[in-house]
Amino acid sequence: MRHGRRSIYLAWCTTLASFCSPLGAYGSHQWAHMIGWGSVDYHPSSVDATADGGFVIAGYTSSSGLPTDAWIAKLSAAGTISWQKIFGGADGDYAEAVRQTADGGYILGGYTESFGNGSEGWALKLDASGSVVWQKTYGGTGDDVILSLEQTGDGGYIFAGRTTSFGAADSNAWTVKLSATGTVEWEKRRATNQAIDLAYSIKAIAGGVYAMVGIAEGNAGSWDIWFLRINPTGTATDRHIIGSSKNDLGKAIDAAGDGGWFVSGYFDSGAGTGYDGLLLKLNSSRSHRRCLEAVWGSHPGGQGRTSGPQDLAEKTESTTTPSITDRVEEDSR
């Protein structure tokens, strides 16, 4: 049963970086817009700032009796729609991530049930007006999803997500490096010895190095934050699992100015109040396997709760952390 139209409420605040402060200084409100009309529901998944001071937003649309389509909209600096496009076929199609590219166009990632085998990872390169330059699918016969993507320094792209098409586990973290035209240059599936692992976010940094964050299922059945640093050929050079005795999920990663990392996500405080937002600052002052630590954490929560770094700790492979392995398999297609 439908319960009315769903629209997007989009707000822009200044000094967004101040949200990353442990002092909790939130940005000042500039404008807000509702995006949506008619009988169509709009579900945003990703937003990126554009070179002209505006924004690009991506997600999917749905309407009763019609297939779900991937959706992208270009917004001005004031939040008004410059243009929008939908992409898809006869079945469900979804956009999970969008980035503006160096040529002024866009790279869109998600998954499609309309093209390929079952659910496949789906990347679309768009020009500055949102027209398709190329589109390709990736994966096998299982469920394969792109959850994050970035343009790389060589003009290509890297994406991260999850796959059930390869490996023995129910779900593997999945990273794929693409050329500028979408051809696979290397592909890796990674897993712990547990059933479910996935990559939520990947960030390209200098020298062809990448940082990835996601989740790994711990031995007790809870979720932990999984951080990896990956070299230009796809090999993981640093691997860390950070968590508490409850569920801790890393959903996004970005570089900090001091060489460390900001990781955002959410976790179960154990207080019976559901999940709280989580923000971690990780540094690189330690050696291998100990090079990351939770410098501070914050989860504003409904009652303004805050936590210190004692709530989260790096887990060692010799105790509570399952062993980490790289599963490297060639694309069978």
Quick: pLDDT tens for 105-163: 999 999 999 987 888 999 999 999 999 999 999 988 888 999 999 999 999 999 999 88
- Per-residue confidence (pLDDT) for residue 39, from 0 to 100: 72
Structure tokens at 157: 């792209």
Residue 51 — very low, low, confident or very high, per pLDDT cuts 50/70/90? very high
Mean pLDDT of 4-9: 46
Residue 227 — very low, low, confident or very high, per pLDDT cuts 50/70/90? confident
Q: What global pTM score does this model have?
A: 0.80
- Per-residue confidence (pLDDT) for residue 2, from 0 to 100: 36
Compute the distance between CA of residue 306 and CA of residue 23 in angstroms, rounded to an integer: 10
- Per-residue confidence (pLDDT) for residue 102, from 0 to 100: 97
Mean pLDDT of 253-260: 84
- Per-residue confidence (pLDDT) for residue 29, from 0 to 100: 65
Mean pLDDT of 30-47: 79
pLDDT, tens digit (0-9, with 9 covering 90-100), for 278-315: 778 877 653 323 333 444 444 444 433 444 333 555 55
3-class SS letters over the chain = CCCCCCCEEEEEECCHHHHHCCCCCCCCEEEEEEECCCCCEEEEEEEEECCCCCEEEEEEEEECCEEEEEEEEEECCCCCEEEEEEECCCCCEEEEEEEECCCCCEEEEEEECCCCCCEEEEEEEECCCCCEEEEEEECCCCEEEEEEEEECCCCCEEEEEEECCCCCCCEEEEEEEECCCCCEEEEEEEEECCCEEEEEEEEEEHHHEEEEEEEEECCCCCEEEEEEEECCCCCEEEEEEEECCCCEEEEEEEECCCCCEEEEEEEECCCCCCEEEEEEEECCCCCCCCCCCEEEEECCCCCCCCCCHHHCEEECCCCCCCCEEEECCCCCC
Mean pLDDT of 236-260: 82
Strand-strand pairing, 66-75 and 144-151: unpaired
Contact 100, 92 (CB under 8 A): no
Percent of the chain with pLDDT over 70: 70
- Per-residue confidence (pLDDT) for residue 312, from 0 to 100: 56
pLDDT at 166 over 80: no
| β partners of residue 145 | 162
Structure tokens at 207: 């020298």
Contact 146, 135 (CB under 8 A): no
